[in-house]
A and B are shown apart, each in its own frame.
Chain A
Amino acid sequence: MFPVLIIGYGNVLRGDDAVGPLAARCLAARLADQPVRIIEAHQLLPEMAWLLSQAQLVVLIDAAIGAAAGAVRWQRLERAEEQRSIALGVVGHNLTCQQLLAGCQALYGASPEVLLIAVAGKTFEVGEELSEAVQEVLPSLVDQVERIVRQHLSGVH
């Protein structure tokens, strides 16, 4: 068991899609002395359901489209039982966060608190650089996540 799980996911070779893994990397350095499990991943996978089941608080950091570059959307995911219909339709080794949460509940009977942070990107072409807008927002995003995690760990949250 670990109180907090952070998964930053995306393709680090696809421009702003790297924002999740890069945020996770920064947080790993800042929270190295804390009981926090931090994972950089290309994508969410069904076997991560077990990791979710071991945590009280899960923070998922992903890139997004459909908003102005650099816009950050914070969303608390609904409990898995309300998301069961979303779980149906998954085909293999790539999941949405709702499907992952549904899987966690169905497989292991656990429903951790899940915070999804979606950062709108500008470019997802091949390349290892973030756009200016996303570069700008990354430090404050990391600060905020660190604060939330520390609050949670101190029992204040």
Chain B
Amino acid sequence: MSQTIVIDPITRIEGHAKITIRLNDVGEVAEAHMHVTQFRGFEKLSEGRPFREMPSLMARICGICPVSHLIASAKACDAILAVRIPEPAVKLRKVLNLAQIVQSHALSFFYLSSPDLLLGMDADPVKRNLFGVLEADPELARGGVRLRQFGQQVIELLSGKRIHPTWVIAGGVNHPITPEARDTILAQIPEVKRIAQRSLEWFKPLLGNYREEIQTFANFPTMFMGLVGPDDTLEFYDGKLRLIGAEGQTVNDDIPVERYGEYIGESVEDWSYLKSPYYRPIGYPSGVYRVGPLARLNIVARCGTPLADKELAEYKQIDASERMSSFYFHYARLIELLHCIEKIEQILDDPDCLSKHVFASASANSSEGIGVSEAPRGTLLHHYRIDENGLIVWANLIIATGHNNLAMDRGVFQVAQHFIKENQITEGALNRVEAVIRTFDPCLSCSTHAVGQMPLHVQLIDSQGEVVDEIAR
């Protein structure tokens, strides 16, 4: 008799989703899907709004990564203004974006995933959380808290607010950084850099303990996409949009962003509110690709900062076929974290960042604008069209998590197939099904947050639709 397992909601992710796993008559996994069950509709909601409002409106999409939307939205608005914004404003926007990545990566790695890594995938779920980490390894927990605090403080020092800042505007930023704020940030760099390095040293030896997870956590060939800077350097703000194949070969070295629709298709499935982008020239669903930390490190040759470059060189020693595993998102996230701290230091060491020239004034000079940047979770695209009054008539957003939807879905199937056998569903197996999703660190528009412990509800439903077993925590 076939059965269906439902995990609803998935815990320790940003937002709301569930997983269904269908078993066949002999208890083997026949099918598995991740369903994103929340609907936001910001594209429709923005119609009729003045385009200059878009950055602050779009920042409201998410409480974890508002800065990412702020940046991509402002870049789309810059394109509508059709002006080149002052270089100091670009630098300050970059610092803000890097700080966002620091705080978001710290949240993902230390708060959401380190319980699995430190305490084990099969550990008691009551203890498998940040406070469990705190009891087992206070220094690790303190480090994670400190890194997130640092990222948030940089955002606050630049923009005045930790969450939903409105500092980035069409044409630049609305005020320069003060020398005091810059010095406050720079004074903290040595400490947070040490924490990031220490975290990598802690994590790398652990990889040997997770061979089975490495082999099964969305470990399949896909393409990878992300922005690349000059000389194949890691880039989060600008650059060309590159797509590489599973063998590392270039599929498209410079996707023309203004014609992204010719290259990126968006499929809609009836089981999820999250669209499934794919590489259109290859088609759906074969055109699956991944974005985010793993993709970014797989498509670049260097980070462009000394400590991160050293780590990247070590990371690249791992066989390329093994780096297909989404388990390596964790590793890549820590390297990026170190890089972002170094990069913030590099930019703020440049006296030009204190320039008062941070805004270019202009009216709308184009009826359309596209902004692309790298969010913590991957490539983010905002595309707007306006009417003659500067009001939005159409908007399209391709969110980082969306790019990974197909890979996450296939990852759930791979893990379920490996760890759920003969109707035996252990707590550890359930956690692994969730944990593969966590490696991608999906952010499902989480401007609201669940309170306290999120429940895990699993139902076994037979082919007649009757619940034959149920687990809840």
Contact = CB atoms under 8 A, between A and B. Distances in A.
Interface of A: 42-43, 46-47, 49-50, 87-94, 96, 99, 102-103, 106-108
Interface of B: 11-12, 63-64, 107, 111-112, 126-127, 129-132, 134-135, 138, 141-142, 145-146, 148-149, 152, 163, 449-454
B130 A92 contact: yes
A50 B452 CA distance: 20
A105 B9 CA distance: 31
Nearest to A108: B142
A87 to B, nearest CB: 5
Given A88-B126, A91-B453, A47 B152 contact: yes
A90 B131 contact: yes
Nearest to A51: B149
A65 to B, nearest CB: 12
B450 A47 contact: no
Contact of B127 (A88, A92, A99): A88
A106 B134 contact: yes
A42 B163 contact: yes
B131 A102 contact: yes
15 contacts: A46-B145, A50-B149, A87-B131, A90-B130, A91-B11, A91-B452, A92-B112, A93-B64, A93-B107, A93-B111, A94-B449, A94-B450, A99-B131, A106-B134, A107-B142
Contacts of A99: 131
A92 B163 contact: no
B130 A89 contact: no
Contacts of A43: 449
Contacts of B11: 91
B145 A50 contact: yes
A151 B11 CA distance: 44
Nearest to B147: A47
A60 to B, nearest CB: 16
B390 to A, nearest CB: 26
Contact of B452 (A94, A102, A103, A106): A94
Given A89-B129, A92-B130, 14 more contacts: A47-B148, A50-B149, A88-B132, A91-B130, A91-B450, A93-B111, A93-B449, A94-B452, A96-B452, A99-B131, A103-B134, A106-B138, A107-B141, A108-B142
Given A106-B135, A107-B138, A46 B130 contact: yes
A60 B22 CA distance: 47
Nearest to B144: A46
A107 B145 contact: yes
- The majority secondary structure among interface residues of chain A is loop
Contacts of B138: 106-107
A42 B64 CA distance: 12
> Which of A42, A47, A94 has its CB near the most chain B CB atoms (within 10 A)?
A47
B130 A47 contact: no
Nearest to B142: A107
A42 B60 CA distance: 13
Contact of A88 (B64, B129, B149, B450): B129
Given A46-B145, A49-B145, A107-B145, A94 B451 contact: yes
> Which of A87, A91, A103 has its CB near the most chain B CB atoms (within 10 A)?
A91
Given A99-B131, A103-B134, A46 B453 contact: no
A82 B450 CA distance: 25
Contacts of B111: 46, 92-93
B115 to A, nearest CB: 9
Contacts of B146: 50
Contacts of A46: 111, 130, 145, 148
B291 to A, nearest CB: 22
A64 to B, nearest CB: 13
The 4 closest A-B pairs by CB, nearest first: A47-B149, A87-B131, A89-B453, A94-B449
A95 to B, nearest CB: 9
Contact of A91 (B12, B63, B64): B12
> Which of B11, B127, B130, B450 has its CB near the most chain A CB atoms (within 10 A)?
B130
Contacts of B163: 42
Contacts of A88: 126-127, 129, 131-132
A90 B145 contact: no
Contacts of B131: 87-90, 99, 102-103, 106
Nearest to B108: A92
A137 to B, nearest CB: 24
